[in-house]
Structure 1
Amino acid sequence: MAKTYRNPVYPDVFADPFVLRHDGVYYAYGTAPGGADGRQVPVLRSLDLVDWEPLGHALLPIGAAHYWAPEVASHGGRFYMYYSAGSAPEGTDQKLRVAVADHPAGPFADTGKLLVPDQPFAIDAHPFRAANGQWYLFYCADFLALEGEYRVGTGIVVDRLVDMTTLAGEPRVVVRPHEDWHVFRKERTMYGAVYDWHTVEGAAVLQHDGRFYCFYSGGAWERDNYGVSWVVADDPLGPYTRPEGGHEALLMRTPKGGDLLGPGHNSFITGPDGTSTWIVYHAWDLAQTARRMCIDRIDWVDGTPATPGPTWTDQPAP
Structure 2
Amino acid sequence: MKILIATPLLLISTLGFARGQNGGPSLKGTHRTSQTKTSPNRATTFCNPLNLDYTYKITESDQDISYRSGADPAVVNFRGNYYMFVTRALGYWYSNDLTQWHFIKPQRWYFQGSNAPAAHNYRDQLLYVTGDPSGTMSLLYTDDPQKGDWQAVPALLRNLQDPDFFMDDDGRAFMFWGSSNRFPIRGYELDPNHRFLPKTGPIELFNRDEARHGWERFGENHDDPKLSGFIEGAWLTKHEGKYYMQYAAPGTEWNTYGDGVYVASSPLGPYTYAPNSPMSYKPGGFINGAGHGSTVVGPGGQHWHFATMTIAVNYKYERRIGMFPTFFDSDGVMYADTAFGDYPHYAPSVTGKKGAFRGWMLLSYKKPVTASSHLEDYTPDRVTDENVKTFWVAQDNAAGQWLEIDLETPATIRAFQINYHDYKSDLYGRPKGLYQQYIVESSLDGERWTTLRDRSYDKFDTPNDYVELPHAVHGRYIRFRNLHVSTPNLAISDFRVFGNVGGNLPAAVTAVKVAREQDRRNARITWDAQPESQGYNVRWGIAPDKLYSSWMVYGQNSLSIRSLNMDRRYYFAVEAFDVHGVGTQSAIIEAH
Q: So what's the TM-score if we normalise by structure 1?
A: 0.77
The match for 2:342 is 312
Cα distance in 1 for residues equivalent to 2:44 and 2:145: 27
Match of 1:224 in 2: 255
After TM superposition, the structure 1 = structure 2 runs for residues 295-310 of structure 1, keeping only pairs within 5 Å, are 295-303=323-331, 304-309=333-338
Distance, in Å, in 2 between the alignment partners of 1:209 and 1:54 is 33
The aligned counterpart of 1:104 is 145
> Following TM superposition, by how much is the alpha carbon of 1:68 offset from its aligned partner in structure 2, in angstroms?
0.4
**Post-superposition offset of 1:138:** 1.5
SS at match of 1:31: coil
Q: Which residue of 1 aligns with 2:175?
A: 137
Query: Does the CA contact (< 8 Å) of 2:86 and 2:114 recur in 1?
Result: no
Distance in 2, matches of 1:54 and 1:253, equals: 27
Q: Which residue of 2 aligns with 1:176?
A: 207
CA distance in 2, matches of 1:196, 1:58: 42
* 1:230 CA drift (Å): 0.6
Deviation at 1:157, TM superposition (A): 1.2
* Other-structure match for 1:160: 189
1:69 aligns with 2:116: yes
Verify: 1:125 aligned to 2:163, yes or no. yes
- Structure 1 residue 56 corresponds to structure 2 residue 56: no
Residue 140 (structure 1) shift: 1.5
* Residue type at the aligned position of 1:72: A
1:284 lines up with 2:325 in the alignment: no
Question: Which letter does structure 2 place at the counterpart of 1:115?
Answer: L
State the 1:156 CA deviation.
1.0
Q: Secondary structure, in 3 states, of the residue corresponding to 2:162? A: strand
The aligned residue for residue 287 of structure 2 is 260
Identity %: 24
- Secondary structure (helix, strand or coil) at the match of 1:173 reads strand
Q: Shift in Å at residue 183 of structure 1?
A: 4.4
Relative contact order: is structure 1 or structure 2 higher (C-alpha 8 Å, sep ≥ 6)? 1
Deviations along 1:108-156, whole A, 9 cap, x unmatched? 244463213xx4xx212112222333222211165xxxxxxxxx51421
Q: Is the 8 A contact 1:139 1:157 kept in 2?
A: yes
| 2:273 maps to amino acid | R
CA contact (8 A) 1:137 1:158 kept: yes
Q: What one-letter code is carried by the residue in structure 2 that aligns with 1:60?
A: W
The aligned residue for residue 39 of structure 1 is: none
Q: In 2, distance between residues paired with 1:5 and 1:45? A: 16
Q: Report how many residues are paired.
A: 275
In 2: Cα distance, 1:132 partner to 1:110 partner: 23
Relative to structure 1, the CA distance from residue 21 to residue 288 in structure 2 (aligned partners, 3 Å threshold; closer, same or farther) is farther
Contact 2:107-2:150 at 8 Å conserved across structures: yes
| Match among 46, 49, 57 for residue 8 of structure 1 | 49
AA in 2 matched with 1:238: G
Pick the structure with greater CA Rg.
2
- Please say if residues 60 and 109 of structure 1, whose CA atoms lie closer than 8 Å, have aligned partners that are also in contact: no
Contact between 1:69 and 1:125, CA under 8 Å: does it hold in 2? yes
Letter in 1 for 2:96: L
Structure 2 SS opposite 1:85: coil
Shift of 1:240: 0.7
Letter aligned with residue 316 of structure 1 = Y
Amino acid at match of 1:317: A
Residue 82 (structure 2) pairs with residue 26 (structure 1)? yes
Distance in 1, matches of 2:127 and 2:334, equals: 29
Aligned AA (2:51): Y
| Residues 49, 287 of structure 2: 8 Å contact kept | no
Q: TM-score, normalized by length of structure 2?
A: 0.43
Q: CA deviation at 1:99?
A: 2.2
Contact 1:96–1:123 under 8 Å retained in 2: no
**Which residue identity does 1:155 align to in structure 2?**
P
Provide the C-alpha distance between the structure 1 equivalents of 2:335 and 2:215, rounded to a whole number of angstroms.
20
Is the contact between residue 154 and residue 201 of structure 1 (CA under 8 Å) also seen in structure 2?
Answer: no
SS in 2 for 1:131: coil
* CA-CA distance at 1:50 after TM superposition: 0.6
User: Does the CA contact (< 8 Å) of 2:179 and 2:230 recur in 1?
Assistant: no
Q: Tell me: CA distance 1:196–1:307, structure 2 relative to 1, closer, same or farther (3 Å).
A: closer
Q: Which moved more, 1:132-141 or 1:225-234?
A: 132-141
Post-superposition offset of 1:57: 4.4
How far apart are the structure 1 equivalents of 2:157 and 2:204?
A: 17
1:233 shift after superposition: 1.0
Residue 112 to residue 209, structure 1, CA distance change in 2 (3 Å): closer
Give distance in 2, aligned partners of 1:66 and 1:79. 18
Aligned pair partner of 1:78 in 108, 126, 141? 126
Q: CA RMSD in A?
A: 2.7
Deviation per residue, 1:34-54 (Å, 9 max, x gap): 3xxxxxxx2111110011011
Report the alpha carbon displacement of residue 162 of structure 1 after superposing the two structures with TM. Answer: 0.7
- Cα distance in structure 2, aligned partners of 1:60 and 1:300: 35
The answer on whether the counterparts of 1:9 and 1:52 sit within 8 Å (CA) in structure 2 is: no
Q: What secondary structure sits across from 2:50 in the alignment?
A: coil
> Larger strand proportion, structure 1 or 2?
1
* Cα displacement string for residues 77-128 of structure 1 (whole angstroms, at most 9, x for unaligned residues): 3332211322xxxxxxx33432233422423244463213xx4xx2121122
In the TM superposition, residue 301 of structure 1 has moved relative to its aligned partner by 2.2
How big is the shift at 1:201? 1.1
Cα 1:297–1:14 change in 2 (3 A) is same
Structure 2 CA distance for aligned equivalents of residues 25 and 181 of structure 1:
34
Q: Is the 8 A contact 1:71 1:125 kept in 2?
A: yes
Matches of 1:170 and 1:301, distance apart in 2:
35
Using the alignment, how far apart are the partners of 1:59 and 1:223 within structure 2? 34
3-state SS of paired residue (1:177): coil
Structure 1 position 287, deviation (Å): 4.7
**2:257/2:283 contact within 8 Å kept:** no
